[in-house]
Amino acid sequence: MNMLDARIPSGPIAQKWDTCRYDMKLVNPANRRKHSTIVVGAGLAGAGAAATLGAQGYGVKCFTYHDTPRRAHSIAAQGGINGAKNYCYDGDSVMRLFKDTIKGGDFRSREANVYRLAQLSTNVIDQCVAQGIPFARDYAGYLENRSFGGVQVSRTFYARGQTGQQLLLGAYQALEEQIAAGTVVMYPRTELQDVVVINGLVRGIVTRDLITGQIDSHEADAVILATGGYANTFFLSTNGKDSNCTAAWRAYRRGALFANPCFTQIHPTCMPLRSDYQSKLTLMSESLRNDGRIWVPKKKDDKRSPREIPESERNYFLEVKYPSFGNLVPRDVAARNIKDVCDEGFGVGPSRQSVYLDFADAIRRLGLDVIRERYGNLFEIYKTITGEDAYKVPMEIYPAPHYTMGGLWVDYHLMTTLPGLFAGGEANFSDMGANRLGANSLLQAVVDGYFILPATVPDYLASVKPEPIDTHHPTFSEAEDEARARIDKLSGIRGKRSPDSFHRELGKIIWDDCGMARSDASLRRALGRIPELREEFWKNLCIVGGGEEVNQALEKANRISDFFEIAELMCIDALDRKESCGCHFRVESQTADGEAKRDDADYCYVSAWEWKGLGQSPVLHKEPLTFEYVPLSQRSYK
């Protein structure tokens, strides 16, 4: 079997998913209870998959390191979820969402997977409404839509600035129904330590109880990882502080290939860093760019308050440079332009590293009540943190790490290169290419969790028919011993530096050298510094307490040890890809007007990396990308 066999069905793209489902093998309802499935992660993708497989009659174990699935990071998504319903009659369609997503990802994603995402988006909205998700509605009761970056239609369904929270509550209630029915068993405050592979098939996981420190094994016929992305490699990001890459990374160490790790998204509208002691950054939803206008003073280092600067002395730089899309250009384009004007000396705020997001025009045009109805909770968040009323003065915003398009390589069935191991949502690389369009993250999580994995996992079970196995198999014991040895090693170093001090330093290296702009020199510099810092980490780490108790410092250190390794792979991948595409901006590869310049002749492929051991160079595998329905072209949003 080709290691990168994507298993894409033949035939017209609009029929591929139906063809795939028709060809799948099924499991008799009476036999489903005989099969066990593990789901790691209880956000939208994980909770959706666990609930749906449980409703089908399979035995499911669901693991989360949170005390409840309601704390999964899906809750932090603000702006909305895309659905090609064309309720606004503005020219939208499945084909247009497909094209927008391919173009927004700068032609570095699979056409077949992206079309399926767009195709199922219409089912997703129906699913959410049936669950009771309180989407915004107009006066007549019809569902409202708004626009997001990189598109010229309104297809985003939303619940003020709390869409992720409402969707997660819907998934949570579906999950709780199955827990009550006995088909799903929940394991809170439990973190994956390793993936167990027996005779070439993934047959379970090893976990650590975060309350007692106990190491346990759990067997299954199939394992789903729905554990999110790795943006917290940067230390400062919009992700929750617990968000990490450990589950996906431990799978990579066991043989699952990792795809496009250098494709990391920097969100353009976030609250800027205000203190050297800050531990995370706060997202301000992209939806705000529907009504907010981004500008800087035309004069460098202008110290006047924004309301003292007349219109004639303001530079609405995105509207000037991209008249067709204005402030709603894709995230990578907006973020780079914001960085550029700040680097040129036009930034505002105490650090001069932010720009204004101004709602004065929208309030005059629509009225204060309309803006409050659309974005009220976001304005409240901003005021709570800054003390400023964004209804009266512009917000100050600056780009921040937010999302990762890279992830475990998966085929059309969302199975990794390890048979029996599936990855859903942000944990896989599947749909977003080199840049994710806004409101597609929630869409992918729901599509993967409710619609794709509940179809492809049973096909795997019916096709492979895994042999019965239990945790007494010696491979489980070996994996448990390795997990204990790692925990003991971390807690026994007895150095002088805290886990956070190492993570902060690592994050700054990645932000400076592999952030919004990368160069050959910066990436080589990072690849020299990361191993040195990792070596110090394993010699000079200080953890108070042991591994048989609640120990958050130990939890952090365990995750940071993986961030060191993925940071190195991010830089290796970025150095190898000598083109610019989407969020991967190599300064050596740009057009005359500063846009990303792709090299389709040499780099029109998915980079899938194979682990060869610590200190050994990973091996690159390439999955060629073809574009039959959306022809390759230079992106333009002007």
Give 480-502 as a DSSP string. Answer: HHHHHHHHHHHHT---SB-HHHH
- On the 0-12 / 13-18 / 19+ scale of CB atoms within 10 A, 616 is exposed
Distances (CA, A) of 14 to 9, 96, 111, 238, 498: 11, 13, 11, 36, 53
pLDDT of res. 2 = 58
CA-CA distance, 548 to 212, in Å (whole number)? 5
pLDDT over 90 percentage in the chain: 98
Q: Point out the residues of the chain with pLDDT beneath 70.
A: 1-2
Write the DSSP symbol of residue 584: B
Q: Give the burial string for 45-72 (b: 16+ CB within 10 Å, else e).
A: bbbbbbbbbbbbbbbbbbbbbbeebbbb
Q: Is 116 a catalytic residue?
A: no
- Which CATH architecture does the domain made up of 477-624 adopt? Up-down Bundle (1.20)
The mean pLDDT value of the chain amounts to 97
* 3-class DSSP state of 186: strand
pTM of the model: 0.97
Check residue 466 and report its DSSP letter. P
Nearest to 261 by CA among 531, 567, 527, 560: 567
Separation in Å, CA 322 to CA 434, 633, 636:
20, 18, 9
- Annotated catalytic residue, options 70, 110, 250, 331: 331
Q: CA distances (Å), 261 to each of 189, 241, 573, 583, 630, in order?
A: 28, 20, 6, 12, 24
Separation between Cα atoms, residue 468 and residue 34, nearest integer Å: 10
**Helix boundaries (H) for 469-592:** 474-491, 499-514, 520-540, 552-576
Whether residue 502 contacts residue 532, with contact meaning beta carbons closer than 8 Å, is answered with no
**Encoded tokens for 551:** 């120990």
Q: Residue 433 phi/psi, 5° resolution?
A: 65, -135
Backbone φ and ψ for 508, nearest 5 degrees, come out as: -65, -40
CATH number assigned to the domain covering 267-401:
3.90.700.10
Residue-range domain boundaries for the chain:
267-401, 477-624
Strands of the 605-610 sheet, one edge to the other: 407-408, 258-259, 605-610, 619-624
- Angle (deg, nearest 10), helices 499-514 and 552-576: 20
Cβ-Cβ contacts under 8 Å for 423 (sequence gap 6 or more):
224, 225, 226, 248, 251, 256, 407, 408, 410, 414, 416
Contacts (Cβ under 8 Å, ≥6 apart) of 101: 109, 114, 117, 118, 431, 432, 433, 437, 440
Cβ distance 157 to 142 under 8 Å? no
